[in-house]
């Protein structure tokens, strides 16, 4: 006989309320505690965490498996289905993923798929080749605290405790923080999100190792390049720092050590949902900009002396921010969102799917919008942009080396005006390099900047006769 770990919701809500009212563990008595399972179900969290519960209840996690009790629980009018499908629907006990129907087999006690499916796009019931076993193949990720030995879940779908671990002791301890798990470690999500697009591709992304370049901050070691390490680095380099910034909370990397997690699932996604598509913390368009923009205002520019900085992709794409009065220049892709090229088909590696280098039939980073060109022609554009930019950067670096050598020999060689021209050229060159796309983000702008850099360096070389 199958054992259910589920306990009556009323008991648990009652427990949550009692505790919320300040009636402690002792009041429930030792016998009562023994009867309370480790996993108490999301309902038990409602009383004290109403906002989390309310937001979570709107997510796919909460609605992954829906119990079918009344006619209105079904996605469509049952009487509209063909008679043989109506017979299947009469047996249905659960709606899975909004499309399939489950019923417990009277023989084995296992949950099995029925021979009917809901086609949401067409708005109708269609036949489905059911019969396969939900318990053995799907329940471990589509329910909470699945116990294979008992063929039982604590809760259908992804409840609070799927991520936070068992909640009983936390509740009996009136919200004892030491008895509940909560952190930004992406392993929480990776236990179920094992697929390539999200899980393994994130693991190989730069985001998954983003704390490495700033970790020395915790030891207050000086950066070899003289860059000061500070807590603010973690606003973009760690999940913890980023979310603290979004919430307007103070953040100390040192105090948070060793918890600082790289830019992971719960940095970009709100695990509890917030109404945004895909549970994103910000819209997909804004999210990338929050870290990949230097915040240079319209009409503003990078500094001519001092650090140019990094994370300048947005400015470069939009075509603004260069020093020395170079005219802002929108390119053909200035209005295109980062994810269109960097997350093709939801690929979380954020790598460009280079034309001609993707699997046969797969989309590359440009296919979505350029349906009428060949992969070879798109690759040729990309190569031309990057090669031309690279050649001009190399030439400029040679000029800079010549000038710097002369200045090293004679520190007062450049007058104030010449020094300004020289520093402007150097800052603008760094701007292009720090964008890191080698001109691909906005080729027109890259050329405008590099032409200016090259003529400025020529001007300085002529003035000093080198
Ligand atoms: C290793 C964990 C795991 C197992 C096992 C698993 N799934 Fe999933 N499934 C997921 C995750 C995570 C998602 C959501 C992310 C995604 O779409 O990749 C998902 C999404 C889905 C969706 C899409 C839901 C939607 O609304 O978009 C369907 C349908 C689905 N699974 C069916 C199944 C079926 C059928 C089985 C058993 C044969 C199964 N899954 C087994 C983890 C799993
Ligand atoms: C999909 C996984 C997941 C689910 C489901 C989930 N949480 Fe969380 N929760 C997290 C993660 C990860 C954090 C830490 C990141 C953060 O603070 O947003 C967190 C943080 C929290 C926090 C403390 C930080 C804050 O937001 O104030 C509370 C309280 C909380 N969760 C309660 C709940 C409750 C109650 C539920 C169910 C109604 C729930 N969670 C469901 C993953 C989850
Ligand atoms: C009796 C009230 C009560 C109930 C019921 C309750 N909690 Fe809490 N929870 C608290 C209190 C109080 C805190 C601490 C808030 C604080 O100090 O910031 C807390 C904090 C948390 C945190 C934050 C942990 C951290 O390290 O910041 C999480 C996560 C959490 N609860 C999850 C849950 C889950 C999941 C459930 C349901 C299984 C639940 N809680 C039920 C009272 C409750
Ligand atoms: C117990 C397994 C499990 C865990 C743990 C889990 N997920 Fe999921 N997740 C799923 C399943 C199953 C779905 C598909 C739900 C559906 O739509 O039917 C899903 C769907 C999603 C979606 C798509 C939501 C949408 O609107 O389409 C996002 C985003 C997501 N999960 C993020 C996370 C994050 C972030 C974490 C960790 C904090 C996490 N998940 C932890 C199983 C899990
Ligand atoms: C740098 C930000 C970022 C990180 C880190 C991130 N995601 Fe996402 N995720 C996104 C964006 C943006 C989308 C929407 C993509 C789109 O619209 O094409 C998305 C979509 C999703 C979806 C649902 C849509 C789909 O592609 O089917 C799931 C599920 C998901 N992410 C899971 C995860 C998991 C699991 C992790 C951690 C292993 C993770 N994400 C880490 C930004 C992120
Ligand atoms: C929380 C801040 C944050 C957010 C949000 C964010 N990124 Fe990043 N991103 C980083 C950091 C930090 C790095 C550098 C990591 C490293 O190299 O150590 C990075 C690196 C990258 C890289 C370089 C990859 C490589 O192989 O060198 C790309 C591309 C990228 N991000 C794209 C995106 C896209 C697209 C989005 C939006 C979906 C996004 N990022 C959102 C912080 C963020
Ligand atoms: C506003 C967000 C933001 C802040 C703040 C920030 N970074 Fe970054 N950082 C990024 C992004 C995005 C990338 C990846 C894209 C790039 O290189 O421009 C990155 C890349 C880097 C890299 C190159 C990583 C590699 O793998 O090559 C280093 C090093 C770095 N950051 C150090 C720092 C330090 C040190 C600080 C603090 C002084 C800091 N960052 C503050 C967003 C930020
Ligand atoms: C029109 C397509 C397109 C758009 C839109 C786009 N990128 Fe890129 N990005 C590229 C290409 C192409 C490269 C060069 C890739 C290479 O050299 O392999 C690149 C390179 C990068 C790099 C250097 C690391 C790497 O992956 O090579 C970062 C970081 C980056 N982009 C971030 C962003 C961010 C952030 C946005 C949005 C502000 C954005 N990109 C918008 C096409 C795009
Ligand atoms: C989300 C849509 C989108 C994506 C993705 C995209 N483009 Fe474009 N592209 C446009 C638009 C819009 C224009 C401007 C209108 C036009 O000229 O057709 C454009 C114009 C161009 C042009 C003509 C520019 C000129 O100087 O005349 C080239 C070449 C080009 N794109 C190449 C690429 C390459 C290579 C990729 C992939 C790395 C790519 N695009 C990805 C939307 C996109």
Residues 47 and 74 in one domain: no
Distance CA 75, CA 66 (A): 10
Backbone φ and ψ for 144, nearest 5 degrees, come out as -100, 135
229 and 375 co-located in one domain? no
Q: Both 365 and 257 in a single domain?
A: no
Give the domain extent around 99: 65-140
107 vs 292: CA distance, rounded Å: 57
pLDDT at 426: 97
Question: Which residues form ligand 4's pocket by a CB distance below 6 Å?
Answer: 60-61, 64, 97, 141-142, 158, 162-163, 188-189, 191-193, 265-266, 269, 271, 278-279
Kindly state whether residue 288 falls inside one of the protein's structural domains. no
Alpha-carbon gap, residue 94 to 118, rounded angstroms:
13
Q: Is 336 in the pocket of ligand 8 (CB under 6 A)?
A: yes
In the listed set 148, 179, 210, which residue is the last one of a domain according to the structure?
179
Q: Is the CB of 368 under 6 A from ligand 9?
A: yes
Structure-block tokens of residue 446:
């890259």
CA distances from 75 to 54, 101, 119, 172, 397 (A): 22, 11, 10, 38, 64
Answer yes or no: is 434 within a domain.
yes
pLDDT of residue 216: 63
Q: Give the per-residue pLDDT at 36.
A: 87
CA of 240 to the centre of ligand 8 (A): 25
Q: Whose CA is nearest to atom 30 of ligand 1?
A: 97
Residue 115: per-residue pLDDT = 96
Q: Nearest residue CA, atom 27 of ligand 7?
A: 213
**Residue nearest (by alpha carbon) to ligand 6 atom 18:** 210
Q: Is residue 306 part of a domain?
A: no
Q: Evaluate whether residue 300 is within a structural domain.
A: no
Using the CB atoms, write b or e for 281-307: b if 16+ within 10 Å.
beebeebbbbbbbbebeeeebbebeee
Walk along the chain (466 residues) in steps of 10 and give the mean pLDDT of each run.
Answer: 37 44 38 78 97 96 96 94 95 95 91 95 95 91 93 95 97 96 96 93 96 68 56 92 96 82 97 95 97 95 92 97 96 97 96 95 94 95 98 98 96 95 97 97 98 97 93
Mutation to probe ligand 7, out of 310, 317, 430 (largest number of atoms < 8 A from CB): 310
384 and 423 inside one domain? yes
Could you tell me the CA-to-CA distances from 463 to 154, 413, 418 in Å, in that order? 79, 10, 8
Q: Of ligand 7's atoms, which has the minimum distance to the CA of residue 214? A: 35
- 210 part of a folded domain: yes
């Amino acid at each position: 006989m199958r054992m259910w770990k589920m306990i009556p919701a009323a008991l648990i809500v009652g427990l949550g309320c009692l505790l919320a009212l300040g009636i402690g563990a002792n009041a429930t008595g030792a016998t009562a505690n023994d009867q309370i399972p480790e996993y108490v179900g999301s309902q038990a969290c409602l009383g004290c965490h109403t906002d989390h519960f309310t937001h979570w209840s709107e997510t796919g996690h909460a609605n992954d498996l829906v119990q079918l009790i009344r006619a209105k629980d079904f996605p469509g009018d049952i009487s509209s289905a063909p008679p043989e499908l109506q017979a299947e629907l009469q047996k249905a006990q659960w709606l899975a993923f909004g499309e399939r129907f489950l019923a417990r087999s009277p023989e084995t006690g296992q949950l099995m798929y029925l021979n009917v499916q809901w086609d949401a796009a067409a708005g109708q019931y269609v036949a489905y080749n059911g019969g396969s076993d939900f318990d053995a193949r799907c329940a471990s990720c589509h329910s909470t605290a699945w116990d294979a030995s008992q063929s039982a879940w604590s809760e259908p779908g992804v409840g609070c405790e799927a991520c936070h671990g068992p909640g009983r002791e936390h509740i009996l301890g009136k919200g004892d923080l030491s008895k509940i798990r909560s952190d930004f470690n992406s392993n929480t999500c990776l236990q179920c999100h094992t697929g390539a697009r999200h899980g393994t591709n994130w693991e190989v992304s730069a985001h998954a190792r983003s704390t490495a370049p700033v970790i020395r901050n915790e030891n207050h070691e000086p950066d070899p390049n003289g860059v000061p390490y500070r807590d603010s680095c973690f606003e973009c380099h760690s999940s913890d720092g980023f979310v603290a910034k979004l919430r307007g909370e103070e953040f100390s990397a040192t105090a948070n050590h060793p918890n600082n997690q790289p830019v992971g699932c719960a940095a970009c996604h709100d695990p509890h949902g917030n109404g945004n598509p895909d549970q994103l913390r910000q819209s997909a368009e804004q999210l990338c900009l929050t870290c990949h923009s230097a915040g240079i205002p319209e009409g503003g520019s990078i500094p001519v002396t001092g650090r140019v900085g990094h994370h300048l992709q947005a400015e470069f794409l939009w075509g603004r921010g260069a020093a020395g009065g170079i005219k802002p220049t929108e390119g053909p892709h200035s209005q295109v969102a980062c994810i269109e090229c960097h997350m093709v088909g939801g690929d979380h590696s954020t790598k460009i799917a280079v034309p001609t280098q993707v699997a046969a039939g797969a989309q590359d980073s440009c296919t979505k919008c350029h349906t009428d060109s060949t992969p070879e022609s798109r690759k040729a554009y990309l190569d031309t942009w990057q090669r031309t930019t690279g050649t001009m950067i190399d030439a400029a670096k040679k000029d800079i080396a010549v000038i710097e050598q002369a200045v090293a020999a004679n520190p007062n060689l450049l007058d104030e005006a010449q020094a300004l021209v020289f520093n402007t050229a150097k800052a603008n060159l760094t701007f292009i390099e720090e964008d890191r796309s080698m001109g691909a983000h906005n080729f027109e702008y890259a050329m405008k900047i590099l032409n200016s850099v090259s003529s400025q360096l020529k001007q300085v070389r002529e003035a000093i006769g080198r």
